[in-house]
């Protein structure tokens, strides 16, 4: 026997089956609603870009660039990378298409897959999904607070509670160098006790020592000087305004000096929303300001700020009610009823009623049990008698109530129940 070899999904990827996909659709539609409410509009950019875009974007010292990019050569010999994050693509698009000539600020949101060649582990995928929002051309700290409030609104809409908002300021080009100098000299003094990774970070990017998960490194870095003590007047004022707007919105926050985030381009505000239910990888969403990024990409001097939500983590926190789906399963008996049923289904769909009908010959009983298995809220029974009368049996599968109805009445009852 010639047994064909099966092809399996790539390690670190996952299929999303219909029941799960419903949850994704729900979360995406709630998120779109919230983002649009605040004036954001959707932008879609390609999934792959020139590799150098992301090397530029994340800074050459970021771990993402060093270890985790999904990079390959295409048939033309170009080095391409599946995007590991979203912001560099948007910045590229704004510059290339001169979107900055439109009146600012620009507000975008995006939902889609990202790729990192990470070690696959529980809850972490090589293809993962994010929802991102970005604002370009708004310096005012009011917008920093507005996006934190929008994130809060999104979580409340999705009934995700028990979260904590962490904020920090990582300074700017003016004030960060003197802090980094101080931090570097302190880290050098402790270098013997730091892990190999952190030792390397002393020269490449000492801020990232704060991200290390190794217990001794955490203990050592907890005594390091904090950036908030080194902010210039501009950063200090911005941070204080940001906090006062958060207070105005009644958003409880905690200043977390370790919150420097993994990516080099942040300036001033950084923030994260965490949930104790997520364990060690506890951030649901995170973001910050990147005022120099556009310029560093060869564009005009336009500031930016944004955040990204991890879809997989977010969905794991939402409790979805076990509900029957709001569709009608049409069952029939005999050839006449089949024809009548096809016509009815056609009519109902055009009136906006989700309607399913299957064509395999089965008993009424087995068709109804099929409807039940699929979770249909309604069953419409069309038999020979019903065809003669022009009236059908409509059964509500939740309540078990059954009623004789005409074509128009079906519509009325279902629409009222929606
Ligand atoms: Zn500064
Ligand atoms: Zn370490």
* Ligand 1 center–CA 237 separation, angstroms: 9
* Six token digits for residue 304: 């930016």
* pLDDT tens across the length of the chain (418 residues): 567 899 999 989 999 998 899 999 999 999 999 999 999 999 999 999 999 998 876 555 566 566 789 999 999 999 999 999 899 999 999 999 999 999 999 999 999 999 998 777 776 789 999 999 999 999 999 999 999 999 999 999 999 988 999 999 999 989 988 998 999 999 999 989 999 989 988 888 888 888 888 999 999 999 999 988 999 999 999 999 999 999 999 999 999 988 876 566 789 999 999 998 777 667 899 999 999 999 989 999 999 999 999 999 999 999 887 777 789 999 999 999 999 999 999 999 999 999 999 999 899 999 999 999 998 999 999 999 989 999 999 999 999 999 999 999 999 998 888 7
Å from CA of 171 to ligand 1 middle: 4
The pLDDT assigned to 266 comes to 87
The pTM for the full model equals 0.88
Cα-based distances in Å from 17 to 24, 25, 158: 10, 12, 21
Q: For residue 358, give both structure tokens.
A: 């299957």
Q: Evaluate the CA torsion angle 265, 267, 195, 191 in order and state its sign.
A: positive
The pLDDT score that the predictor gives to residue 27 is 96
Residue 343, C-beta contacts closer than 8 angstroms, at least 6 positions apart: none
Q: How far apart are alpha carbons 12 and 149 in whole angstroms? A: 33
Token pair 């600012």 is found at 104
In angstroms, the CA 344 to CA 299 distance is 58
The pLDDT score that the predictor gives to residue 65 is: 61
Q: What is the pLDDT of residue 323?
A: 73
Rg (CA), the chain: 28
What is the distance between the alpha carbons of residues 390 and 382, in angstroms, rounded to a whole number?
9
CA of 330 to the centre of ligand 2 (A): 62
258 Cα to the center of ligand 2, angstroms: 13
Closest-CA residue to 237 (of 171, 181, 180, 292): 171
d(CA 240, CA 248): 12
Cβ–Cβ contacts within 10 Å for residue 88, how many? Answer: 22
Q: Which domains does the chain have, with CATH numbers?
A: 18-175+231-317 (3.30.930.10), 325-417 (3.40.50.800)
* 207 vs 5: CA distance, rounded Å: 49
Question: What is the 236 CA–ligand 1 centroid distance (Å)?
Answer: 7
Those residues whose beta carbon sits under 5 angstroms from the ion ligand 1 are: 171-172, 174-175, 232, 235
Q: Could you write out the DSSP letters of every residue in 58-118?
A: H-TT-HIIIII-EEEE-TTS-EEEE-SSSHHHHHHHHHHTTGGGSSSPEEEEEEEEEE--P
From ligand 1's centre to the CA of 173, what distance in Å? 6
- How far apart, in whole angstroms, are the C-alpha atoms of residue 130 and residue 119? 19
Which ligand lies nearest to the CA atom of residue 220 in the structure? 2
In angstroms, rounded to a whole number, what is the distance separating the alpha carbons of residues 74 and 240?
A: 49
């Amino acid at each position: 026997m010639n047994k064909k070899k099966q092809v399996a999904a790539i390690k670190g990827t996952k299929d999303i089956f219909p029941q799960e996909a419903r949850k994704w659709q729900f979360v995406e539609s709630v998120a779109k609603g919230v983002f649009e409410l605040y004036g954001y509009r959707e932008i879609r950019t390609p999934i792959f870009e020139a590799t150098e875009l992301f090397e530029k974007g994340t800074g050459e010292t970021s771990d993402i660039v060093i270890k985790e990019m999904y990079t390959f050569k295409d048939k033309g010999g170009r080095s391409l990378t599946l995007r590991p994050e979203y912001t560099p693509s948007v910045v590229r698009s704004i510059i290339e298409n001169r979107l900055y000539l439109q009146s600012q600020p620009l507000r975008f949101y995006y939902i889609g897959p990202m790729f990192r060649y990470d070690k696959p582990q529980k809850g972490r995928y090589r293809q993962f999904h994010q929802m991102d929002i970005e604002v370009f051309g708004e310096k005012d700290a009011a917008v920093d607070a507005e996006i934190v409030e929008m994130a809060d609104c999104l979580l409340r809409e999705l009934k995700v509670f028990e979260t904590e908002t962490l904020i920090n300021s990582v300074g700017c080009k003016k004030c960060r160098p003197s802090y980094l100098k101080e931090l570097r000299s302190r880290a050098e003094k402790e270098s013997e006790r730091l892990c190999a990774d952190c030792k390397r970070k002393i020269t490449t990017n000492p801020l990232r020592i704060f991200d290390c998960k190794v217990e001794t490194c955490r203990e050592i870095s907890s005594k390091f000087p904090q950036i908030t003590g080194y902010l210039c007047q501009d950063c200090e004022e911005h941070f204080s305004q940001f906090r006062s707007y958060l207070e105005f919105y009644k958003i409880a926050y905690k200043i977390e000096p370790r919150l420097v985030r993994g990516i080099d381009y942040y300036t001033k505000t950084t923030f994260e929303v965490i949930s104790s239910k997520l364990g060690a990888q506890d951030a649901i969403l995170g973001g910050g300001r990147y005022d120099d990024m556009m310029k560093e990409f060869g564009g005009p001097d336009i500031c930016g700020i944004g955040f990204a939500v991890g879809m997989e983590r977010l969905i794991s926190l939402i409790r979805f009610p076990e509900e029957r789906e709001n569709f009608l399963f049409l069952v029939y008996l005999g050839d006449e009823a089949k024809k009548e049923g096809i016509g009815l289904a056609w009519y109902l769909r055009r009136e906006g009623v989700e309607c399913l009908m299957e064509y395999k010959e089965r008993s009424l009983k087995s068709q109804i049990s099929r409807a039940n298995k699929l979770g249909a809220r309604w069953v419409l029974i069309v038999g020979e008698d019903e065809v003669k009368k022009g009236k059908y049996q409509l059964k509500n599968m939740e309540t078990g109530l059954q009623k004789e109805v005409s074509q128009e009445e079906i519509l009325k009852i279902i629409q009222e129940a929606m």
